[in-house]
Amino acid sequence: MPAAPVPGLTPDPSAAPTGRTPGTLRVALLGCGVVGSQVARALVEHADDLAARAGARLELVGIAVRDASRPREGLGTVVPADLLTEDAERLVDAADLVVEVMGGIEPARGLILRAVAGGASVVTANKALLAAQGPELFEAADAAGVDLSFEAAVAGAIPIVRPVRESLAGDHVRRVLGIVNGTTNYVLDQMATHGLDLEEAVKEAQGLGYAEADPTADVEGFDAAAKAAILASLAFHTRVSIDQVAREGITGVTADDVAAAAQTGHVVKLLAIAEQTAEGVSARVHPALVPAAHPLAAVRGAFNAVFVEADGAGPLMFYGQGAGGRPTASAVLGDLVSAARDRLSGGKGPSESAYASLPVLPADAAVTRYQVRLVVADRPGVLAQVAGVLADHGVSIDTVRQTADEPAADGGAGTAQLLITTHAAREASLAATVAAVRDLEPVRQITSVLRVEGV
Ligand SMILES: NC(=O)C1=CN([C@@H]2O[C@H](COP(=O)(O)OP(=O)(O)OC[C@H]3O[C@@H](n4cnc5c(N)ncnc54)[C@H](O)[C@@H]3O)[C@@H](O)[C@H]2O)C=CC1
Ligand SMILES: N[C@@H](CC=O)C(=O)O
Ligand code: NA
């Protein structure tokens, strides 16, 4: 049976008035920042290879920017300046394939809806938008019979969206655990290895193109939470939005925490965790202690890694560059070639799979191990008193380490540092325990409470 005619590809003179060249698909690029500029460059520089792989030329017909008169450093020699336009809507209307790399909610959302309503397939790197408004966008794409692809939105260059939604479609995923934010991993790594403070390290990450336009999204964990929501939705075939992800960023992590972690054979990492239990699914993002021997501890700089645990496949690990212009553009271009192939074959990639409709559990239902550091009066019976409070709350102690501080100058009782590692406990029990311990008379300070993962 002959393939259905494809707009822009049918060798038909009637295509001429619309400006379409037979055998081409028209690509509109929305945004020309860190990622967009690399997508534009690759579309021009690798046009022949991309055409051979996609089955049609991917013609960059325009780049929507805020200010078309602003010179684009380095890009002018590769991408003709007359491709820049401030009229994103008109550009979208003229395209077969739309790449959205402008970020933010609006106008990105409106432009994507407009693109799919007009019959264009869309590739986006915008996790913030997908984690907030994904269902609306997927439904619109399905209704229009076009692709909405987003490999770049989770862990940049690492192929993780496609493996979870296609390769593991026949398996049962139980847990996803990963480092999915390059900026915070870079920051924690710099703190651990070079003693940099948070602000210095974030500035470096911005200069390297890892950070979001507003790096608060990185350091406060919003970016990782968006990725956790997307991963949980894909892994468990249900809908999880960013506001259902328990989130804690890295601003509370001190140089002292990082040094103390090293002393106990751990590193501090910002983790995204999505789990399915008998009660439902949960997704959370928080800093955690990871044993130095665990593969996640070896993930340095802006690299990302995602562990997936599935019933059949067992543990799988995906590792690579989760941020930066060229790595992210690689994922965008992969999606673009796939979307082009789908158009040429008259097919469509996978739709959203949310049939399971599972309940999303509250943050305090999470179960994990904890390490609590505290300063107490160094006198007999204090350790037993603290241990008693944990026992009263049903929190079981794994190990305790005590270090005496200098004796008090007046000869009275000095202080001691206690480091308590618990067995797995519910978040709610631990929070109540810490509050009760804080109220004990001999307790001078709770220095830190960190979860321990990957044990
Ligand atoms: N930089 C990275 O490593 C990664 C970024 N992403 C995502 O890719 C997207 C783009 O990120 P970046 O390139 O880093 O951001 P960026 O801030 O460098 O670039 C965005 C560009 O879009 C333009 N833009 C924003 N609103 C616009 C509008 N209304 N009209 C025209 N242009 C507009 C901005 O002026 C800017 O040049 C975001 O959704 C981000 O979350 C995803 C993975 C990695
Ligand atoms: N800001 C993000 C970029 C990729 O999503 C990060 O640092 O990982
Ligand atoms: Na990816």
pLDDT digits (tens, 9 = 90+) for 396-412: 999 999 998 877 777 67
Check residue 87 and report its DSSP letter.
Answer: -
Q: Which atom of ligand 1 is nearest to the CA of 213?
A: 17
d(CA 409, CA 414): 8
| Structure confidence at residue 6 (pLDDT) | 35
Ligand 2: lining residues by beta carbon, under 6 Å: 156, 181-183, 210-212, 218, 223, 322-323
313/330 same-domain check: no
Q: Which of 29, 30, 32, 34 to mutate to test the pocket of ligand 1 (most atoms within 8 A of CB)?
A: 34
Tokens found for residue 31 = 């945004």
CA of residue 123 to ligand 3 center, whole Å:
12
Q: Do 140 and 17 share a domain, yes or no?
A: yes
> Which of 278, 312, 345 is the last residue before a domain boundary?
345
The number of beta carbons lying within 10 Å of the beta carbon of residue 22 is 14
Long-range contacts of 394-403, Cβ-Cβ distance < 8 Å, separation of 24 or more: 394/425, 394/429, 395/422, 395/423, 395/425, 395/429, 395/430, 395/433, 396/422, 396/423, 396/425, 397/421, 397/422, 397/423, 398/369, 398/422, 398/423, 401/264
- Whether residue 7 lies inside any domain: the answer is no
Residue nearest to atom 35 of ligand 1 (CA): 66
Is 356 inside any structural domain?
Answer: no
Residue nearest to atom 3 of ligand 2 (CA): 323
Of the residues 261, 288, 322, which one is the last residue of a structural domain? Answer: 322
In a domain, 359, yes or no: no
pLDDT of residue 375: 96
Please give the pLDDT value at position 20.
Answer: 59
Regarding whether 70 and 216 lie in a shared domain, the answer is: no
pLDDT above 90: residue 35: yes
Q: Binning pLDDT at 50, 70 and 90, where does residue 22 land?
A: low
Read off the pLDDT band of 12 (50, 70, 90). Answer: very low
Q: Which two tokens stand for residue 2?
A: 């002959």
Instruction: Give the mean pLDDT of the chain.
Output: 92
Q: Confirm whether 227 is domain-assigned.
A: yes
Say what the pLDDT of residue 93 is.
98
**What would the mean pLDDT of 98-124 be, rounded to a whole number?**
98
Query: Could you tell me if residue 1 is inside a domain?
Result: no
Is 354 within the bounds of a domain? Answer: no
**pLDDT at residue 72, rounded to an integer:** 80
Distance from the alpha carbon of residue 137 to the mean position of ligand 2, in angstroms: 22
Nearest CA to ligand 1 atom 41: 126
Tell me, yes or no, whether 169 and 83 share the same domain.
Answer: no
Q: Which of 183, 188, 328 to mutate to test the pocket of ligand 2 (most atoms within 8 A of CB)?
A: 183
Distance 103 CA to ligand 1 centre (A): 5
Most distant CA atoms of the chain, gap in Å: 98
Q: Which CATH number goes with the domain that contains 180? A: 3.30.360.10
- Residue 5's pLDDT is what? 33
User: In this predicted structure, what is the pLDDT of residue 78?
Assistant: 83
Contact 240, 272 (CB under 8 A): no
With CA atoms as reference, report the closest residue to 309 among 175, 177, 180, 179: 175
Ligand having the closest approach to the CA of 231: 3
Active site residue 227: yes
Asked if the structure places residue 229 within a domain, the reply is: yes
Q: How far apart are the CA of 42 and the centre of ligand 2, in A?
A: 20
pLDDT value for 19: 52
* Percent of residues, the chain, with pLDDT higher than 90: 85
* Encoded amino acid at 90, one letter: R
Ligand closest in space to the Cα of 211: 2
| Least-confidence region, from 2-11, 108-117, 209-218 | 2-11
Q: What is the pLDDT of residues 317-354, one digit of tens each?
A: 999 999 999 999 999 999 999 999 999 999 999 999 99
CA 233 to CA 283: how far, in whole Å?
10
Amino acid at 357: S
Number of the ligand 1 atom closest to the C-alpha atom of 107: 29
Residues 33 and 137 in one domain: yes
- Residue 15 in this model has a pLDDT that exceeds 60: no
* Ligand 2 atom having least distance to the Cα of 205: 7
Residue 411 has a pLDDT of 67
330, 370: one domain: no
Q: Are residues 250 and 295 in the same domain?
A: yes
Centroid of ligand 2 to alpha carbon of 455 (angstroms): 26
Mark whether 112 and 126 lie in a shared domain.
Answer: yes
Rounded to a whole number of angstroms, the CA Rg of the chain reads 25
Ligand 1 center to 130 CA (angstroms): 14
Strands (E), 6-165: 24-30, 57-64, 84-85, 97-100, 121-124, 148-149
Tell me how many domains the chain contains. 3
pLDDT of residue 231: 98
Q: Residues 127, 227, 269, 348: which is the catalytic one?
A: 227
Q: What is the DSSP letter of 298?
A: G
User: Looking at the structure, do residues 395 and 434 belong to the same domain, yes or no?
Assistant: yes
Give the other-Cβ count within 10 Å of 413's Cβ: 15
CA 109 to CA 106: how far, in whole Å? 5
Identify which of 160, 185, 177 has the alpha carbon closest to the alpha carbon of residue 282: 177
Q: What CATH number does the domain containing 411 carry?
A: 3.30.70.260
Single pTM value for the model: 0.93
Look at residue 3 and tell me whether its pLDDT is greater than 60: no
Same domain flag for 193 and 125: no
Q: What's the CATH number where 92 sits?
A: 3.40.50.720
Q: How far is 24 from 56, CA to CA, in rounded Å?
A: 5
pLDDT digits (tens, 9 = 90+) for 36-95: 999 999 999 999 999 999 999 999 999 999 999 988 877 777 888 899 999 999 999 999
Looking at the fold, whether 311 and 168 belong to one and the same domain comes out as yes
Q: Tell me which residues have their CB closer than 6 angstroms to ligand 1.
A: 31-36, 64-66, 88, 101-103, 107, 125-127, 152, 156, 209-210, 212-213, 323-324, 328
Residue 435 burial (CB count, 10 A): 12
Q: In 3D, which of 133, 256, 232 has the Cα closest to residue 180? A: 232
Instruction: Please report, for residues 179, 196, 300, the alpha-carbon distance to residue 267 in angstroms, rounded to integers and kept in the order given.
Output: 13, 15, 11
Ligand 1 atom closest to Cα of 322? 44
Say how many C-beta atoms besides its own lie within 10 A of residue 301's C-beta. 15
The pLDDT of residue 13 is 33
* Residue 371: domain span: 366-452
In a domain, 199, yes or no: yes
Task: Give yes or no: residues 309 and 333 share one domain.
Answer: no
